[in-house]
Structure 1
Amino acid sequence: MTPGLDLALLLGAAVLLVAVGAVRFSTRLGVPSLLVYLALGVAIGEAGLGIRFDDVELTRVLGFCALIVIIAEGGLSARWSTLRPVLGMAAALSTVGVVVSIAVVGLVVHLALGLDWRLALLYGAVLSSTDAAAVFATLRRLRLPPRLVATLEAESGMNDAPAVIVVVLLSRSTELAHPWWFEVLLVGYELGVGAAVGVAAGITGRYALRRAALPSAGLYPIAVVGFTVLAYAAGSVLHASGFLAVYVAGVLLGNARLPHRQAILGFADGLAWLAQIGLFVLLGLLVSPGRLPAAVLPAVVTGLALLLLARPLSVAVSALPFRFPRREQLFLSWAGLRGAVPIVLATIPLSLRVPGADRLFDAVFVLVVIFTLLQAGTLAPAARRLGVTAPAEAAEVRVETAPLERMRADLLQLEVPPGSRLSGVHVDELRLPVGASVTLVLRDGAGFVPGPDTRLKVGDSLLIVATAETRDEAERRLRAVSRRGRLARWFGEYGEDRGD
């Protein structure tokens, strides 16, 4: 190999390993890992090691590729049983909520910063999308009610599509090429056809992979990722929303009970982490630190407008047809995390040389850093303050085992927190459905196989095997006992996921 390539591989491997190790470090400190990756990019850039990188178009292309992988992983890991009840709310947040957010942020930026309407609305459009990587990585560390998590994850997987469409429309030219009603119809076409393409790709992939006898288990994860990329490409060729197609295809494939499902999820998770690391480091490399101080004031003004006005109003308007309690709406407002997506979207007007796009990029970069630190670090206290935590909620443990694959079963983990009515209940009093069983209890650092008369205690960690058919029922039963104890059914408690 050439010395230049060897040096590039050495630097790339070092950055990758440092980024992987930084995940554990950032988790301990409660700092989002995406900020560590951005800092790595800045450190090796023009202000650090002196590597100068200013290829905006390449950044945009690679950013879109990374987002495809991240959104696909979010779709693959989403459970349809928890996604279905919140699909309407997530769709409203991803469409009506995006429009409201663009309008409010655009108005505030126009009045407060004196920007022209086109650039002000571009600020709103770029920041209207919540970030899939930031949302998935942050929420999976918290114990929240399933429908809250499903709403936020589905929104972050779906709202990239309309945001990209609006940013492109506003970046194309000073004057719209068609009447406003034509542009509205165009947006509807792109979303509708994008969803249809995702359905077609997902159904085709389910049919093909269920019947294919591939010679190696490692080929199944590659094929699944291939179908999600195919969905994006087909959607883009048809001038539809490729990002929406990716998410829809991912949801269909992830809920298909394909062979080697756990290996597929593990592979997609690893790819998503690699995409996040590469994307954030690249964005940190692109930014010019010397220009950032001038962007602090616009970033703070825009961020406050987004956090205190646009996001709460978009959530409130989107939730009007649905029964979402006020405290859940407040948490949804606070948990609308921004990350790499707004920065990637800011490269679109930058690559098209829109006047003021460089200031927009810098402001968005600073905004993401400041408000990610503020929001991600306070999500857990905010959830506790609003009373929307669910510490006794069962969480899936991803393991690759042949017996579980043959049984079409999942391995769940359940903690018994202080105050839970699970404490003092015997295992046989859980009355789990046939097909679900407590297989191991971890207590005081030691594990043992429980018997029917084993009494649960605060601090216990339970491993539960549940078949696909009984998982939802088992989770509802565990939720009911956690709320009302062994006599939950006598009190009319059946463990439904609700917002009271």
Structure 2
Amino acid sequence: MTFDVHQLDTFLLVGAAVTLLAILAVRVTSVAGLPSLLLYLLMGVALGESGVGIGFEDAKLAHALGFGALALILAEGGLTTSWRDVRPSMRLGVSLATLGVAVSVATVAVGAHYLLGLPWELAILLGAVTSPTDAAAVFSVLRVVPLPRRLTGALEAESGLNDAPTVVLVGLISTGALAEKGIATIGGIIVFELVVGALSGLLFGFGGAWVMRRIALPSSGLYPLAVICLAMLAYGAAAAMHASGFAAVYVAALVLGNSELPHRVATRSFAEGVAWLAQIGLFVMLGLLLSPGRLTAEIVGVAVVAGLVLTFVARPLSVLAGAVVSPMGRRDLAFISWAGLRGAVPIVLATIPLAEGVEGAERLFDIVFVMVVIYTLLTGPTLPLAARLLRVARRSEPRGLDVEAAPLERIAADLLQVTISPTSRMHGVEVGELRLPKGSSVAMVIRDGQTLVPETRTVLRHADDLLVVTPRKSREATEERLRQVSAGGRLAQWLGDGDGDKRG
């Protein structure tokens, strides 16, 4: 197949127009409380054979591109996740991503087989592809719902970790390995892939952070690119060892995102932009893969019934099972159960049996597509209401500071650029009341575009940018102290770490 300059021009024109339209759509969906994925999927359908007429039926290419996009999305999830926030909920997140997924798969499979008459293979595949939650879908809605850290941490950990076991399971079922090897052997394979994948992520995460701290690149723009490449390197290395690349990329990105790296804020912003681009391309492509002519009343009916089983039976049971290792209140568990949004992950997983030529895979893809659209429309807009009814929403959850670091190699120090967010309790605190570690100091305050050399009695305000110089050995303590004051104000020394949940 040849690709000439004129085709490239057309591709760039259409691609840029679709991407810009998708970016503008983010504002519309955020106001409406809907995950943007729905609009992107519909854009893909509109561009497809029943709309503009762009034909796309290559399931293997969709499978490969989908996995690449998911890896980038997971990398962004790890890089932007605060270990401080997810650590208290990590046990619950891991339990939901393993034990909870197993319960969900079994429940949906039994329901699909006995209620809908699906063959066991398709029933198990349906349970496997629809069990994982989607980080992009969950947090595009949760951004407008102020929640305590125990809930956001659990949801974030679950959505970042549950892709890996389900990808392994769907792959094994689609290739016929489940029938050949037996459940015990399959369980061992899954454990091996997850453990080796996680170890690969730890190796590249800590190793990459060690290297990044000791080199001075000629341009600040190279740091975000290097971090993304390290996360992708972890994915590729794990995949080469027949381990879980998704576990590797998420763990590596989580380590890198919480390490003392230069230009962390810029890195996170870059990763967020890359993830948005991956989401847009992924959802539009999946929309192209759908043929609306195949969506019969029977397909829609099966999707509705299967979605009811998943939403009102399998998801609550999986949350209850996951909470065995980390008990939480009933209202918290009820909200976690309702917040289990599905997004790109189930549709991408449905391309695996499609690419492997599994009998009935096309029907499965259509069912999953309809399920994702219907139940995202059902649960997404109602999450704020559910949070209020269950009384789990907080009026004001203090946000951490945005801290950007640049290395000062000649004096073994770092320059921190600190932005005081609109909800930070550092507002009204005097510079002298920060009580930074010895050797650290506020060198400059930027307020309303004007620079100010601070004194000890200078009062800090919302939207101020601070330039803080700190010896490298004191950087972690300096950042910790700044975050304490941001969460607890001038009383931080009595409130400890200023955790919003502890203050109640």
Assess same fold via TM > 0.5.
yes
What does 1:473-484 correspond to in 2, within 5 Å? none
Structure 2 distance, partners of 1:454, 1:203, is: 39
What does 1:418-433 correspond to in 2, within 5 Å? 427=429
Question: Is the Cα contact below 8 Å between 2:75 and 2:231 reproduced in 1?
Answer: yes
Q: Which moved more, 1:63-72 or 1:400-409?
A: 400-409
Alignment partner, residue 222 of structure 2: 219
Structure 2 residue matching 1:253: 3-state secondary structure: helix
Alpha-carbon deviations, 1:313-340, whole Å to 9, x = none? 1111111222311111111111111000
Structure 2 distance, partners of 1:114, 1:463, is: 62
- Of 297, 318, 325, the residue aligned with 2:322 is 318
Structure-2 change in CA distance of 1:239 and 1:476 (3 Å) = same
Alpha-carbon deviations, 1:249-277, whole Å to 9, x = none? 00111111211212211111110000000
Alpha-carbon deviations, 1:70-126, whole Å to 9, x = none? 000110111122222221111111100110110111111111101122211111100
Structure 1 distance, partners of 2:458, 2:215, is: 44
Structure 2 distance, partners of 1:351, 1:375, is: 30
- Of 115, 118, 136, the residue aligned with 1:133 is 136
Structure 2 distance, partners of 1:121, 1:167, is: 9
Question: Is the Cα contact below 8 Å between 2:484 and 2:492 reproduced in 1?
Answer: no
Alignment partner, residue 246 of structure 1: 249
Q: Structure 1, unaligned stretches of length 5 or more?
A: 417-421, 443-447
What does 1:176-187 correspond to in 2, within 5 Å? 176-187=179-190
Alignment partner, residue 413 of structure 1: 421
Structure 2 residue matching 1:361: 3-state secondary structure: helix
Structure 2 residue matching 1:176: 3-state secondary structure: helix
Structure 1 residue matching 2:501: 3-state secondary structure: coil
Alignment partner, residue 300 of structure 1: 304
- Of 294, 309, 316, the residue aligned with 2:313 is 309
Which residue identity is paired with 2:232? V
Structure 2 distance, partners of 1:336, 1:434, is: 41
Structure 2 residue matching 1:358: 3-state secondary structure: helix
TM-score normalised per structure 1: 0.87
Question: Is the Cα contact below 8 Å between 1:22 and 1:33 reproduced in 2?
Answer: yes
Structure-2 change in CA distance of 1:313 and 1:451 (3 Å) = farther
Alignment partner, residue 171 of structure 2: 168
1:177 to partner: Cα distance: 2.2
1:451 to partner: Cα distance: 12
Question: Is the Cα contact below 8 Å between 1:45 and 1:284 reproduced in 2?
Answer: yes
- Of 466, 469, 474, the residue aligned with 2:477 is 469
Alpha-carbon deviations, 1:362-404, whole Å to 9, x = none? 1111111111112111111211221222232223565868699
Structure 2 distance, partners of 1:97, 1:112, is: 22
Structure 2 distance, partners of 1:203, 1:487, is: 31
Would you say 1:94 and 2:121 are equivalent positions?
A: no
- Of 363, 381, 385, the residue aligned with 1:381 is 385
Question: Is the Cα contact below 8 Å between 1:231 and 1:245 reproduced in 2?
Answer: yes
Flag as ranges the 4+ runs of structure 1 deviating above 4 A.
Answer: 396-405, 425-428, 430-433, 439-442, 448-456, 460-468, 470-481, 485-490, 492-496
1:306 to partner: Cα distance: 1.1
- Of 186, 191, 195, the residue aligned with 2:194 is 191
Structure 2 distance, partners of 1:142, 1:75, is: 21
Would you say 1:6 and 2:9 are equivalent positions?
A: yes
Structure 2 distance, partners of 1:226, 1:487, is: 38
Structure 2 residue matching 1:177: 3-state secondary structure: helix
Structure 2 distance, partners of 1:441, 1:216, is: 27
- Of 25, 41, 49, the residue aligned with 2:52 is 49
Over the aligned positions, Cα root-mean-square deviation in angstroms equals: 3.4
Question: Is the Cα contact below 8 Å between 1:393 and 1:414 reproduced in 2?
Answer: no
Structure 2 residue matching 1:395: 3-state secondary structure: coil
Count residues in correspondence: 482
Q: Which moved more, 1:175-184 or 1:464-473?
A: 464-473
Structure 1 residue matching 2:220: 3-state secondary structure: coil
Structure 2 distance, partners of 1:207, 1:107, is: 48
Structure 2 distance, partners of 1:453, 1:315, is: 51
Would you say 1:340 and 2:344 are equivalent positions?
A: yes
Structure 2 distance, partners of 1:400, 1:455, is: 21
Structure-2 change in CA distance of 1:441 and 1:145 (3 Å) = farther
Alpha-carbon deviations, 1:326-358, whole Å to 9, x = none? 111111111111000000000001111111111
1:453 to partner: Cα distance: 11
Structure-2 change in CA distance of 1:461 and 1:368 (3 Å) = farther
Structure 2 distance, partners of 1:367, 1:50, is: 25
Alignment partner, residue 471 of structure 2: none
1:19 to partner: Cα distance: 0.7
Structure 1 residue matching 2:235: 3-state secondary structure: helix
Structure 1 residue matching 2:259: 3-state secondary structure: coil
Alignment partner, residue 497 of structure 1: 501
Which residue identity is paired with 1:7? T
1:292 to partner: Cα distance: 2.0
Structure-2 change in CA distance of 1:260 and 1:495 (3 Å) = closer
1:139 to partner: Cα distance: 2.4
Structure-2 change in CA distance of 1:489 and 1:219 (3 Å) = closer
Alignment partner, residue 270 of structure 1: 273
